[in-house]
Amino acid sequence: MNVSSVKGSMSISSSTSTWKAGDTISDQFPAGLRVLVVDDDPTCLMILEKMLTACLYKVTKCNRAETALSKLRENKNGYDIVLSDVHMPDMDGFKLLEHIGLEMDLPVIMMSADDGKQVVMKGVTHGACDYLIKPVRIEALKNIWQHVVRKRKNEWKEFEQSGSVEEGDRQPKQSDDADYSSSANEGNWKGSKRRKDEEEETDERDDTSTLKKPRVVWSVELHQQFVAAVNQLGIDKAVPKKILELMNVPGLTRENVASHLQKYRLYLRRLSGVSQHQSNLSTIISAQDPTFGSLSSLSGLDLQTLAATGQLPAQSLARLQAAGLGRATAKSGIPITLVDQRNIFSFENPKLRFGEGQQQHMTNKQQVNLLHGIPTTMEAKQLVSLRHAAQSVGNMNMQVPPPGPQSSQNNPLLMQMGQQQQQQQSRGQILVDSTINHAPRLSSMGQPILSNGMATNVSSRNGIPENIRAPGYSQTPSMLNFPMNHASELPGNCFPLGSTPGVSNLTSKGAFQEDVNSEIKGSGGFMPSYDVFNDLNQHKPQSWELQNVGIAFDSSQHSNSLQGNLDLTQSALGQQGFSSGQMNGHNRSAAVASKAVFSTGDVKELRSAQNVNQHLNNLLVDNTIRVKSERVCDTSPANIFPDHFGQDDLMSALLKQQESVASSENEFDFDGYSMNNIPV
C-alpha cells in the first residue's frame, strides 16, 4: 500500500536536508497542515473553513483567486496545499491551478458542484491533485494531506536522485531496464519494483551521501547552463567532462554532470513520445530558440522538457515533437515566456530524467512497451516499423486510436517530468484529442505516441497515480490508477488501463490487457454505470414529485451512504493503492450505483449500498416489505457518521424497523430515518 511507503519515505525525508525549505512534517501531521481555500461562494467558503478547522488544519480563506495568488506569492512556503473552486468570477480555477503549479508547485485540489466528466478531466489534465465534488464532505477533507505527503515524497526522491551520483547513474539504467521489462512497469515511470529498490537504496545512500558531500541541486539556471552546454556540444558528443568545462560552474563535479546527463537523456527519450500535437511543436521550438541557443539540435528534447513541465500546451509539445523528429523547425509564435521556460527547468529534481531525443534513442523495447498499451490495433510489427519510421505518419495513425489511455499515460509522464501541476493543457489537449481521435492529429502524433507509451512505462509511479486519479473522479482514477499501481501485472502497457473516462476506452481495454482486465473491469464497470447513475440522479427530482417523498429522501440518503460504502465496494473491486478518500460524493455514488444497477442479486445478500440504486427504483414503484427489509443496507449510513451516530444505535434501530415492518407506516415505506417514532 502506498501508505507504508509514504511513511517510510517520510521518515527518510525528515532525516535529510533536502526537504523543501520551510516544510517540515511535524509529529502531529496532518494536524496543522496549512491549507489555503479559495471559493467565491461565501456559503461554501464558510463551510469549508469550518470543516478544515475541524480536521485540525490551519486554514486561510480567500474569496478571490487574485487574493489567493498574492497570498501565496507573499508567503511561498506558508502553505502546504490549496483548495480551489473551479468556477470563480475573477479567474478560472484552472488558471489559478496553473499559476500555482508554475510558481509555487503546491498540490492543488479543485472543487466544484459540477461533476461532469469534462470538467473533472480538465482538472486532471491541468494537474490538480484531486477533484472534489460539492457538496464537499468532511471525510473527503480529512484525507487531503496525502497529496502533500505524496508530492514531497516525490520531490524528495528526486532531490535525492539528482544529488547522489552513484544512485543517479544507476537509476537511469534501472529505469531503462524497468522500461524494457514492459509488463513490470505499467504506468509507472519508475516501476514499482525499481521504486522499492530505489527507496531502499536511497535510504541507505541518503545518509551517507548527505554526510559526505553536498547535494547538487539542479536549479533552473544550472540546468539551463547544462542544456546550453549539451546543445553546444551536440547531444551525441556531449560528454560530462566537456559539459562541465562549458558550464564552468564552480563546485560542480564531473560526476554530478554525468548523472544529470544520464537522467536528461532518459527524460528526452521519454519526451519524444509524449507530445501528440504537432502544431505545438513548432511553436514551442520557436519559443525555445530565444532562450536556448542551438535549440534546434535538441529541439525535441528541450521542447519535451518544456512541454512536460506543462508550460507548453499540448499542441506546442506536439510541434516540438515534430521538430525533434527532424522536421523543419517551424517557428510559430508560441506564447511561452522565458519565465515559463525557466519554470520548466525549475525542477530541482531529476524530472529531466527522461529519455533523450526520440529518434536517436528510442529503443525497440520502449516502443514496444508503449505500443502494447496502445490500441489493440497495434501489432508488434507495426510497432517496430513505427519505431523505425519516425516520420511514417501512416503507421502512427494506427496507433492513435486509443488516445484516451495514452494521453492519460502521457500526462502522468509529462506531469512527472515537469511540475506535476503544470501539465495542464498538454494533457487536456492530448486527452481531448485522443478521445476524439482527431485525424489530423493522428498524423502528428506518430512518434509521440510511441514515446508516450515508453514514457508511461518509465514514468514514475508517484507522479502518475496521483495526478491521474487526483481529480477524485471515481471512474477515472480507478481506471487510471489500476495500470499504474499494477505495473507488474500489466503486460507492458499502461494505457488502456489508465484510460480516460470514456466508455470507448472500455473496448480498447478489453482488447488487450487481459491480465489487467479483472481490475479494469472493475473500474470499467464504473464507466457506464456512472452515466446510469447520473440518469438516476436526474430522474430523482421528477420521481419525487410523483412519488413518496420519503423515498426520494432516502435515495439521497443512500447516495450518501453509497459514498460511505464505496470503501467496501472499492475493496470488493480489488482496488489497490488508493485511499477511498480519493473518491468523492457523486463519484462514489456513481461507482457504487453502477454496481447496484448492475447487480441483480437478492437484496439481503447485498449488504453494502450496492443495492441502493436498485432500491431506489424499487421504492419508487413498490412499497413492499421487501423494500423495508432492504433497509438493512441503511446501516451503511451509519458508517458515514460513525462519530456522531452510534452504529449500534442505527443498527438496532434499523433492525427494529425491519422487525416492525408490518406495523410501519405505509405511506413512507422507507427512509433513512426511522418512521416509527413519528406521530402521524
Partner 1 sequence: MELVQIQRSLVDYTKSLFMEGFLDAQFLQLQQLQDDSNPDFVFEVVSLFFEDSEKLLNELIIALDQPNVDFKKIDSHVHQLKGSSSSIGAQRVKNACIAFRNYCDVQNIEGCLTCLQQVKQECYLVKNKFETLFRLEQQIMASGGSVPTIELGF
Least Cβ distance, residue 453 to partner 1 (angstroms) = 37
CA distance 536 to 530: 10
Angle of the 585-598 helix axis to the 526-546 helix axis, nearest 10: 90
Which one, 166 or 649, has the nearer CB to partner 1?
Answer: 649
- Say if CB 285 and CB 375 are below 8 A apart: no
Least Cβ distance, residue 118 to partner 1 (angstroms) = 13
Which one, 161 or 560, has the nearer CB to partner 1?
Answer: 560
Which one, 487 or 675, has the nearer CB to partner 1?
Answer: 675
Identify the H or E element spanning 213: none
Least Cβ distance, residue 123 to partner 1 (angstroms) = 15
Least Cβ distance, residue 582 to partner 1 (angstroms) = 19
Binding interface with partner 1 (CB under 8 A): 40-44, 46-47, 50-51, 54, 85, 87, 89, 112-114, 134-138, 537-538, 540-541, 544, 549-550, 552-553, 556-557, 560, 634, 637-638, 640-641, 643-646, 649-650, 653-654, 657, 668, 671-679
Bridge partners of 112, per DSSP, are 133
Which one, 259 or 563, has the nearer CB to partner 1?
Answer: 563
> Which parts of 494-547 are beta strand (E)?
none
Select from 494, 490, 461 the least CA-distant residue to 480.
494
Cα–Cα–Cα angle for 246, 251, 256, rounded to 5 degrees = 70
Which one, 85 or 155, has the nearer CB to partner 1?
Answer: 85
CA distance 105 to 347: 10
CA distance 390 to 676: 73
Amino acid at 22: G
φ, ψ dihedrals at 107, nearest 5°: -70, 135
**Radius of gyration over every alpha carbon of the chain, rounded to an integer in angstroms:** 25
Select from 332, 348, 338, 445 the least CA-distant residue to 399.
445
Amino acid at 603: V
Least Cβ distance, residue 608 to partner 1 (angstroms) = 16
Which one, 599 or 674, has the nearer CB to partner 1?
Answer: 674
Least Cβ distance, residue 589 to partner 1 (angstroms) = 11
Least Cβ distance, residue 132 to partner 1 (angstroms) = 11
Angle of the 585-598 helix axis to the 549-572 helix axis, nearest 10: 90
Using CA atoms of 526, 529, 535, 537 in order, give the dihedral in degrees to the nearest 10. Answer: -60
φ, ψ dihedrals at 413, nearest 5°: -65, -50
CA distance 224 to 155: 19
Least Cβ distance, residue 31 to partner 1 (angstroms) = 16
Least Cβ distance, residue 133 to partner 1 (angstroms) = 9
Q: Hunting for cell 547552463 — which residue is that?
A: 225
Least Cβ distance, residue 669 to partner 1 (angstroms) = 11
CA distance 343 to 420: 12
CA distance 414 to 425: 11
Which one, 53 or 208, has the nearer CB to partner 1?
Answer: 53
Which one, 539 or 626, has the nearer CB to partner 1?
Answer: 539
Which one, 78 or 135, has the nearer CB to partner 1?
Answer: 135
Which one, 212 or 644, has the nearer CB to partner 1?
Answer: 644
